[in-house]
């Protein structure tokens, strides 16, 4: 059932809500099924570049329709978007949240951009996440990258205060895709951000982070964790393993079933890890 972004993030003192990137209906079905099985709330992400493509608005509408019909409490979020027109379009299609990513803009422009996104979102009852610092790495193609600019705690406070956003994506050594070096998160920085910012914090780039590191991040106050690459890999491995068996009968249903099983397994695992002390 569709659930407000703020409600999914609230009361996550000892756990976090999982946010999973979906590229098709199979992914949305699998993630929602995993969340319903675990009794967890969940966020379905549609990437900014995917939404900007020809089929993006259709996929978003389909994700909202599947979330609406699910027993799991769910919200669909447009992820990493730098374009107010696309943010308005996603909200119109039923997105319950957007990530207004102004992290590459000069600080004051980032605030103004996020503030405008908040105005658009509020008119639809939707939530807004923003970013400060630079979480490096391509969001759709895994390449090994090193961490980008880290989030400044004082600026984070000002960004949240002046923009009115609901959630802040922190850059504390996390990257999208593949970690070039063994991941190291800046715990002191996270504690300083937590001390300054009262709104929920999100951790992007969770693929490739060992479970104890994710647990520590939850203890340090992370309320939302974004996962993509590990799902994509599971989907592709399952597709490749299923192909020899389904080609003979040209059985697309069996292929989709294999993809859903693989995605569901990863999502169930991750949701379990995000339960934190509640486990
Ligand atoms: P990963 O692909 O590294 O899991 O990152 C996902 C993400 O942060 C989406 O915003």
Which ligand 1 atom minimizes the distance to the CA of 229? 2
From 20, 144, 176, 213, the mutation candidate for ligand 1 (largest count of ligand atoms within 8 A of CB) is: 176
- Rounded Cα distance between 243 and 261, Å, is 15
The structure's pTM equals: 0.96
Nearest to 219 by CA among 277, 167, 279: 277
Burial class (CB in 10 A: 0-12, 13-18, 19+), 7: middle
Q: What is the mean pLDDT of residues 103-130?
A: 98
- Rounded Cα distance between 185 and 18, Å, is 19
Task: Output the CA 222–ligand 1 centroid distance in Å.
Answer: 15
Does 79 qualify as catalytic in the annotation?
A: yes
Q: How do residues 216-251 score in pLDDT, each as one tens digit?
A: 999 999 999 999 999 999 999 999 999 999 999 999
| Residue 278: band (very low, low, confident or very high) from pLDDT cuts 50, 70, 90 | very low
Q: Is the CB of 77 under 6 A from ligand 1?
A: no
Q: Can you list the positions of beta strands (E) in the chain?
A: 17-21, 42-46, 74-81, 97-100, 127-132, 144-145, 167-170, 178-179, 201-203, 222-227
Start-to-end Cα distance in the chain = 23
- Rounded Cα distance between 155 and 103, Å, is 12
Which tokens sit at 226?
A: 């974004």
Q: What is the mean pLDDT of residues 120-127?
A: 97
Q: Is the CB of 204 under 6 A from ligand 1?
A: yes
Active-site position among 33, 79, 101, 166: 79
118 Cα distance to chain centroid: 18
Alpha carbon nearest to ligand 1 atom 8, residue: 204
Count CB atoms within 10 A of the CB of residue 251.
13
**pLDDT at position 63, please?**
98
Task: Output the CA 250–ligand 1 centroid distance in Å.
Answer: 33
- Tell whether the model's pLDDT for residue 11 goes beyond 70: no
Task: Output the CA 248–ligand 1 centroid distance in Å.
Answer: 35
| Residue 107: band (very low, low, confident or very high) from pLDDT cuts 50, 70, 90 | very high
Task: Quote the percentage of the chain above a pLDDT of 90.
Answer: 91
């Amino acid at each position: 059932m569709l659930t407000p972004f703020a409600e999914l993030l609230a009361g996550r003192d000892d756990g976090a809500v999982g946010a999973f990137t979906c590229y098709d209906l199979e992914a949305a079905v699998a993630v929602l099924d995993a969340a319903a099985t675990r009794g967890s709330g969940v966020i379905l992400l549609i990437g900014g570049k995917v939404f900007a493509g020809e089929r993006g608005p259709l996929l978003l509408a389909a994700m909202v329709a599947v979330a609406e019909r699910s027993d799991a409490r769910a919200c669909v979020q447009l992820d990493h978007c730098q374009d107010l027109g696309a943010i308005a379009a996603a909200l119109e299609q039923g997105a319950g949240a957007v990530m207004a990513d102004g992290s590459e803009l000069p600080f004051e422009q980032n605030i103004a951009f996020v503030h405008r996104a908040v105005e658009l979102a509020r008119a639809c009852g939707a939530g807004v996440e923003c970013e400060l610092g630079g979480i490096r790495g391509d969001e759709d193609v895994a390449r090994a990258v090193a961490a980008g600019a880290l989030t400044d705690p004082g600026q984070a406070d000002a960004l949240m205060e002046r923009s009115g956003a609901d959630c802040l994506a922190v850059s504390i050594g996390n990257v999208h895709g593949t970690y070039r070096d063994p991941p190291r998160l800046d715990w002191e920085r996270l504690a300083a951000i937590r001390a300054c910012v009262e709104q929920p914090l999100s951790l992007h780039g969770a693929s490739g982070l060992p479970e104890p590191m994710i647990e520590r991040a939850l203890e340090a106050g992370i309320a939302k964790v974004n996962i993509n690459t590990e799902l994509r890999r599971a989907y592709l491995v399952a597709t490749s393993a299923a192909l020899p068996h389904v080609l003979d009968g040209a059985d697309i249903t069996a292929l989709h079933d294999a993809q859903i099983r693989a995605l569901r397994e990863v999502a169930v695992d991750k949701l379990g890890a995000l339960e934190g002390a509640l486990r």
